Amino acid sequence: MAKMPLGEQTLYIGIDGGGTKCRASIMTADLQVLGTGVGGPANPFQGVQQAKDSIRTAAELALIDAGLPPSAMTELIAGAGLAGVNVPSLYEVMSAWEHPFKEMHLTTDLHIACLGAHNRDEGAVMICGTGSCGYSYVGDKSLFIGGHGFPIGDKGSGAWMGLEAIQAILLASDDLGPKTSLSESIGEFLQASGVMIVDRMFGAKQGDYAKFAIFVVDAADAGDAVAVSIAKEGAAYMSAVARKLWATQPGRMSIIGGLAPRLIPWMEQDMANNLSPALYQPEFGAVYFAKQRFKLANNNQSVLTTAI
């Protein structure tokens, strides 16, 4: 099939905005990736302006990567899946943004992750990275579990593990909790011990806590009792989330996010066995979503004929 010149095609940008970073990929309608950019945190719960800045940065870098001029920004049909916009007020604030794109279709990071993971409308997905949550979409019904953010929710996530680890280290430093190798590993990372750890944590955010998660799973694998307890509690929560999602009969269920591969071995075996690999990254799910919405708005059936 002869290809259309780029200038004549509708171009999409799939945006996956999480608590640590924002990835944006510019794609053709048949999902050829032309360029990708990465910006900073884009969870509006942590900062609305920061989220907008991170999306814009990621899009600008994706344009450069694609060899497209800055002026092409206003021609892009954006699909954006952002953490935090399951909170109604944040959805409204981000929807009201005077974004730099031709159109922006906004949904949750969970929704685009699910669309991408299964390359179809129905499925279930869990995220276990900086934050944690679960989502299923079956028979026009969606189910959100968790995703309440740090520190009130997101059990099992990297930020949750990091906070649990710091709490355990401080209890141990007061001799009010069991000794743990995390005092050494995280202490060395922070170049601090005891009350100086409090000093280092001054103003720490979700993403700062999430950096400690790798030390927790490493220590858990090595048998440290405190770390094992944290890993087991986190994995038990994610197993309970999986069980709720599986009950909706999603057909396929995946877990994604930086911490996921390390948490799966601690999950309950039957739920771990129900997991399937994610087929595509969330940015593809974001473009899948944008194409659906663009088609609805323009009543242009041809846009959807290329399945992702």
Question: ∠200-201-204 over CA atoms, to 5°?
Answer: 130
Give yes or no for residue 45 binding a copy of itself (CB under 8 A): yes
* Residue given tokens 């400690």 in the structure block: 212
Question: ∠233-234-235 over CA atoms, to 5°?
Answer: 95
Q: Of these, 5, 7, 69, 88, which contacts a copy of itself (CB under 8 A)? A: 88
* Residue given tokens 């159109």 in the structure block: 103
Non-local CB neighbours of 244 within 8 Å, separated by 6+ positions:
134, 143, 145
Shortest separation between residue 133's beta carbon and a copy of itself, angstroms: 10
Between residues 17 and 116, which has the closer beta carbon with respect to a copy of itself?
17
Shortest separation between residue 189's beta carbon and a copy of itself, angstroms: 15
Buried b (16+ CB within 10 A) or exposed e, 31-68: bebbbbbbbbbbbbbbbeebbbbbbbbbbbbbbebbeb
Between residues 25 and 157, which has the closer beta carbon with respect to a copy of itself?
157
Q: Of these, 74, 95, 167, 306, which contacts a copy of itself (CB under 8 A)? A: 167
Give yes or no for residue 145 binding a copy of itself (CB under 8 A): yes
Q: Contact letters (x/-) for a copy of itself, 239-278, by CB under 8 A?
A: -xx--x----------------------------------
Between residues 26 and 51, which has the closer beta carbon with respect to a copy of itself?
51
Shortest separation between residue 24's beta carbon and a copy of itself, angstroms: 25
Between residues 87 and 138, which has the closer beta carbon with respect to a copy of itself?
87
Own/partner contacts of 227-232, CB < 8 Å, gap of 24 or more, are 227/165, 227/180, 227/181, 227/182, 230/161, 230/164, 230/165, 230/168, 231/161, 231/263, 231/266, 232/266
> Which residues are at the interface with a copy of itself (CB under 8 A)?
45, 86-90, 144-146, 148-149, 151-153, 155, 163, 166-167, 170-171, 174-176, 195-196, 198-199, 201-202, 237, 240-241, 244
